[in-house]
Amino acid sequence: MSDLRQQIRDWALEEGFAAIGFSKAESLDKEAAFLKEWVSEGRPGKMSYLERNEDLRTNPVLLHPGTKTVISLVFNYYQENPTMTKGPKISTYALGRDYHKVLKKKLKSISRKIIENIAPEANIRYFTDSAPILEKEWARRAGLGWVGKNALLIHPKRGSYFFLAEILIDLDLAPEPEKVIRDHCGTCTRCIDACPTDAIDPEGYTIQANKCISYLTIELKDDEIDSAFKGKMEGWAFGCDICQQVCPWNKFATPTVEEGFVRVPQIGELTPEDWKNMTQETFETIFLQSPLKRTGLKGMKRNVEFIDPDMESDG
């Protein structure tokens, strides 16, 4: 069995994934109770999809019947972010092409190799942020890092600038549990202290999504952002990297090897005025394959209008 795991690991590394791990598929009962409480407290904000499919979300066997192993994978997206010094800030993960498309192709390739070389009858499904599954918990169980006080998966040698992905398979590939990496946050509170909207619980590990800038600038579809957040956005127009930037473990981050994630050339040059005057046609041309299409031009203009005073006061 370890040979099969090694073969799959090799294929994942060939596709550019930074790491891969295997966990036995089972119901996540403790996490299910936590999720129920989180939802009942209204923490998902208007992300009502988090209130649906609770059973599927915490049990991969229900999500994909027959699943015996959850294969977790991480893909590095880190790169220098020119929007940090110029123009409205865009989260580093969104500087290049939409990761769903880039990573799905790679997951498909690995799955095809499993079917062609290992198990022709294998029943496989793969996801990257595209199904109700607790990605971080599976990655933690697979020995790929710990979930930090900023609620992100952190690896002691690689940091947290990663996309997560999963392959669910009906082969028993995880007879032994992977060695789980213990929590290394210790007494650090940098992310909690730096979060400008106090979205991270004082004790850490839980995010109040409806206070998080990523939610406000991407998921929130309202015409306006609540004025309570005026002056607190620190120039972020799409997502927010603050709780990653301050995390000491990200000093180990290295630039991504994936061409698809290399930033759109114009992205660091766009001023607030450029954004406000942008036509739909220009937006479609520049951001044809970008995650920014999730927010759309209308949403980006709303965000840029909202943060403008912060940017002026930044000087």
Residues marked active site are found at 129
Of 195 and 297, CB closest to ligand SF4: 195
Minimum CB distance to ligand SF4, residue 247 (Å): 3
Of 110 and 240, CB closest to ligand SF4: 240
Of 156 and 177, CB closest to ligand SF4: 156
Residues that bind ligand SF4 (CB under 6 A): 148-150, 154, 185, 188-191, 195, 197, 199-200, 204, 207, 212-214, 240, 242-243, 246-249
Of 69 and 160, CB closest to ligand SF4: 160
Minimum CB distance to ligand SF4, residue 49 (Å): 19
Minimum CB distance to ligand SF4, residue 149 (Å): 4
Q: Are 167 and 110 in contact (CB under 8 A)?
A: yes
Strand partners, 125: 168
Of 60 and 204, CB closest to ligand SF4: 204
Q: Which residue has the tokens 């299910």?
A: 32
Minimum CB distance to ligand SF4, residue 139 (Å): 15
Say how far apart CA 77 and CA 219 lie, in whole Å: 21
Say how far apart CA 177 and CA 28 lie, in whole Å: 15
Of 74 and 213, CB closest to ligand SF4: 213
Q: Are 188 and 248 in contact (CB under 8 A)?
A: yes
Minimum CB distance to ligand SF4, residue 132 (Å): 21
Minimum CB distance to ligand SF4, residue 215 (Å): 7
Per-residue three-class SS string for the chain? CHHHHHHHHHHHHHCCCCEEEEEECCCCHHHHHHHHHHHHCCCCCCCHHHHCCHHHHHCHHHHCCCCCEEEEEEEECCCCCHHHCCCCEECHHHCCCCHHHHHHHHHHHHHHHHHHHCCCCCCEEEECCCCCCCHHHHHHHCCCCEECCCCCEEECCCECCEEEEEEEECCCCCCCCCCCCCCCCCCCCHHHHHCCCCCECCCCCCECHHHCHHHHHHHCCCCCCCHHHCCCCCCEEECCCHHHHCCHHHHHCCCCCCHHHCCCHHHHCCCHHHHHHCCHHHHHHHCCCCHHHHCHHHHHHHHHHHHHHHHHHHC
